[in-house]
Amino acid sequence: MSVLLEVRGLGVRSTERTLLDGVNVTVFAGEVTALCGPSGSGKSVTARAAMGVVDVEPGLFSGTLKFPETGNRDWYAGVAQGGPRAHARLLSDTASLRGGYLSYSPQAASSALNPGRTIGRQMEMSIARRKTAPLSVGETIRNLLAEVGLNARSASALPGELSGGQCQRAALAVAMASDPRVLIADEPETGLDPVLRRQVVELLLTVGKAHGCGILLISHHEDTVDRIAQHVVRLRGPAEAAA
């Protein structure tokens, strides 16, 4: 089983309190790792840390971050409590991974899509982050749109011209256009009714498995986590951590 993302002993603090301490997260190819916990438990902070965009001082104080398919480098080495320069170095070093090796899908499609660019143009920009360019960008876009249940005409549409459900599908197509090894889905069910919620999650699974990527799913829906996740990381809320 191929490991794509490995976080060990993650510790992050704010000026007021410790946000995370000793958190371990592993994402495997073709599988789902769920990150769950109550509001304020640090789910989104963990996701940002996994992408290398965590603050450093205050912020990251311990841990290792590795992407085994890219080598054995610990991307946090020399960074923890290293000040602004260390923070800038971490952001710079991991920039090439974000949008390529790692793809992030935020809670709402409105946050993932640029309202002033067509869906096709946004997919083109994502495809440009691939290590190897496809033979036909147009065909790749059409195939991806079909995978998420959208017709080819959607490529010429602006996000505001699509329904909410279509925007969710388009956002997934944009996220997958870079052919990522790891897809981080930040509460994709937010604001959706139970039927649409299940459809979005099933689509996420289907597309992720078809591309062989690992999925880090941030969710507070226990039924979803129990149903689809092979691995679960449970974070404690602030009150529990203080106890």
Question: Exposed, middle or buried, 156 (CB in 10 Å: 0-12/13-18/19+)?
Answer: exposed
pLDDT truncated to tens, each residue of the chain (243 aa)? 799 999 999 999 888 889 999 999 999 999 999 999 888 889 989 999 999 998 766 788 999 999 999 999 999 998 887 878 888 899 999 998 998 999 988 777 777 899 999 999 999 999 999 888 888 999 999 999 999 999 999 999 999 999 888 888 899 999 999 999 999 998 887 767 777 778 888 888 899 888 999 999 998 888 889 999 999 999 986 645 544
- Report which of 216, 224, 242 is spatially closest to residue 101, judged by C-alpha positions: 216
CA–centroid distance for 138 within its chain: 25
Q: Beta 32-36 vs 214-218: how paired, if at all?
A: parallel
pTM equals: 0.89
Q: At what angle do helices 137-147 and 164-176 cross, to 10 degrees?
A: 130
> For the chain, which domains are there?
1-101+219-243 (3.40.50.300)
Task: Determine contact, residues 225/36, Cβ cutoff 8 Å.
Answer: yes
Cα–Cα distance for residue pair 123/178, rounded to 1 Å: 8
Handedness of CA 41, 45, 46, 47 (dihedral sign): positive
